[in-house]
Amino acid sequence: MNYKSTRDNGVSVTAAQAIAQGICGDGGLFVPEKLPRFSYSDLCGMQHLGYAERAERILTAFLTDFTPEEIRDCVVKAYTGGKFDNDNPAPFTYLQNGKVNMYMLELWHGPTCAFKDMALQLLPHLLTKSLQKIKSGKTAVILVATSGDTGKAALEGFKDVEGTKILVFYPENGVSPMQKRQMDTQEGGNVSVCAIEGNFDDAQTGVKKLFTDRELNRLLEQNGMMFSSANSINWGRLLPQIVYYFSVYCDLMAHGEIDREGEEINIVVPTGNFGNILAAYYAKKMGLPVKKLICASNANNVLTEFLNTGVYNRSRPFHTTISPSMDILISSNLERLLYDLTGGDSAKVAGWMKELAVSGKYRVDDAVLARVQEQFFSGFCDDEATKATIKEIHNTENYVCDTHTAVAVNVYHQYVAQTDDTETPTVVVSTASPYKFAGSVLNAITGDASAASDFDKVKELSVVTGTPIPAPIAGLESKPVRFCGRCTAAAMQDTVLQITGIARK
Ligand SMILES: *Cc1c(COP(=O)(O)O)cnc(C)c1O
């Protein structure tokens, strides 16, 4: 199977090339030329497998230039080596909330306590194998723009991985205290972290510019290096995210929660860069029985507006919220959805992306909008509603969810109120441990607004809710801070030249 660019159908590269490169030279994103299908009997066949074996089945259908041994080696290293605090890296917890059945798909049992681990524990293995396959012989310089969780998960995944260097940019005022602490204390000889003066969009736009800067790419090449990406623009990030949607469906079958062929589920995803929900969309197209994909946003509701009206308009105030990993106005992966919904019309997609870059806005045609609305329900909520939802779920279900997951629960309630669909079993994607956002979660549950230290709030949350503090969070308090650099978005290139050692030559 080969991969095309969303902005140029003439491009055709292998999976290894797409993963090694991260983003296409024309600024487009790599997409598979067709999606494999999984039938009901395939699902039955996966029902009694472990997570790593399920991952192997899905990956095999996409990575046709990898050998079965290579794929097995990658998934075994990622998912069975004790990096997750649970045998099943993606377990669900059942909540009967009022009239509805919710299955909380907890994707935060990995080393950094957010769902990004699901992909970023695997990506370094896929990437090093891809580099060998394309015989690059170069060191991969992984540039990451993060709204908080990707950065830490990428650092943890790539630390001391041979043949790679990793540099993470995060918005200095756009991440939670725990997220910042997690990144600033990162260990490893090949890692760097830099705060930038700006928001996530500034960081992401800056990184995309660096990727496609010819002169900079030439300089890297002369020095035996090449750029790659650990953001969800990289196909190697997105592919592992398809797996857990199949996996939870298989778990629901195995538990008898789903007992009919073709029985549909809803999937609710708290969304920022549109990566996680796009993976759910691909799973649906691959044959997973899904009724609605429910896209939940916070006050940065650019996607809600787009999915409801067909107009994408990034020219709006940027809100810093208590769900910072969703504080995004340019959702990169939407480009992949548009490519798919236009039947692969790369010229049209390239045109819209150009309009977005030039005027901050584009409108899709009615046919595309109709297809969007068939598949998606979309809503948003602000910080007050997010907090009220955390409190309600805690009071009624004795379940503690983080701020991002609470946005999803809130929007799911909106969906039920508008559609009366109380019947369809619904998977709510729980994207982070509440302890990553302990201050906000504690405030939601107890009203606490004290100036106690971040670590005191973590401990308090544990006492109040009777839940254990995850080991990776507990361990942070005693770790020394290694990174405190900051730069402007305009100076990101200089930072890259310094970190790679090119500037000194
Ligand atoms: C990254 C992230 C999101 C948003 O995911 P996208 O794939 O960017 O849409 C939601 N919640 C948490 C906790 C995250 O880290």
Between CA 441 and CA 386 the distance in angstroms is: 10
Residue nearest (by alpha carbon) to ligand 1 atom 15: 149
Quote the ligand 1 centre to 327 CA distance (angstroms). 9
Between CA 110 and CA 112 the distance in angstroms is: 6
Ligand 1 atom, smallest distance to 271 CA: 9
**Catalytic member of 116, 180, 291, 457:** 116
Mutation choice for ligand 1 from 245, 273, 322, CB with most ligand atoms inside 8 A: 273
Residue nearest (by alpha carbon) to ligand 1 atom 14: 325
> Rg for the chain (alpha carbons), in Å?
21
Between CA 347 and CA 195 the distance in angstroms is: 36
Quote the ligand 1 centre to 222 CA distance (angstroms). 36
Place of tokens 């009724």: 291
Q: Provide the strand spans (E) within 290-386.
A: 290-297, 311-313, 361-363, 376-380
Instruction: Spell out, as residue ranges, where the chain has pLDDT lower than 50.
Output: none
Alpha helices in 420-437 (DSSP H): none
Between CA 275 and CA 252 the distance in angstroms is: 23
The helix or strand, by DSSP H or E, that contains position 96, with its residue range, turns out to be strand 92-97
Quote the ligand 1 centre to 466 CA distance (angstroms). 26
Quote the ligand 1 centre to 428 CA distance (angstroms). 13
Between CA 281 and CA 35 the distance in angstroms is: 11
Q: What are the tokens at 284? A: 């649906």
pTM score, two decimals?
A: 0.95
Sheet holding 486-488, edge to edge: 225-229, 139-145, 164-171, 191-197, 486-488
Residue nearest (by alpha carbon) to ligand 1 atom 1: 325
Task: Enumerate residues 6+ apart whose C-beta is below 8 A from 368.
Answer: 310, 338, 341, 342
> Is there a contact between 126 and 70 (Cβ–Cβ < 8 Å)?
no
What is the pLDDT, as a whole number, of residue 5? 97
Between CA 412 and CA 427 the distance in angstroms is: 10
Pairing of β 8-13 and β 3-5 = antiparallel
Using CB atoms within 10 A of its CB, is residue 295 exposed (0-12), middle (13-18) or buried (19+)? buried
Ligand 1 atom, smallest distance to 404 CA: 11
Torsion angle (degrees, nearest 10) of CA 145, 147, 148, 152: -20
The helix or strand, by DSSP H or E, that contains position 15, with its residue range, turns out to be helix 15-21
Residue length, the chain? 505
Number of CB atoms found within 10 A of residue 480's CB: 7
Between CA 251 and CA 147 the distance in angstroms is: 31
Residue nearest (by alpha carbon) to ligand 1 atom 2: 325
Mutation choice for ligand 1 from 431, 433, 435, 436, CB with most ligand atoms inside 8 A: 431
> Is there a contact between 494 and 199 (Cβ–Cβ < 8 Å)?
no
Dihedrals phi, psi of 102, to nearest 5 degrees = -115, 135
What is the pLDDT, as a whole number, of residue 26? 87
Nearest CA among 80, 30, 4 for reference residue 236: 30
Is 116 one of the catalytic residues?
yes
What is the pLDDT, as a whole number, of residue 135? 85
Torsion angle (degrees, nearest 10) of CA 15, 202, 146, 403: -120
The helix or strand, by DSSP H or E, that contains position 9, with its residue range, turns out to be strand 8-13
Buried b (16+ CB within 10 A) or exposed e, 204-225: bbbbbebbeeeebbebbeebeb
The binding-site residues of ligand 1, defined as CB within 6 angstroms of any ligand atom, are: 114, 116, 149, 232, 270-276, 325-326, 404, 431-432
Between CA 165 and CA 143 the distance in angstroms is: 9
Between CA 42 and CA 33 the distance in angstroms is: 22
Nearest CA among 61, 63, 66 for reference residue 35: 61
Per CATH, the architecture of 91-113+254-467 is what?
A: 3-Layer(aba) Sandwich (3.40)
Task: Enumerate residues 6+ apart whose C-beta is below 8 A from 346.
Answer: 4, 5, 6, 7, 8, 9, 28, 339
Quote the ligand 1 centre to 431 CA distance (angstroms). 7
Dihedrals phi, psi of 212, to nearest 5 degrees = -105, 10
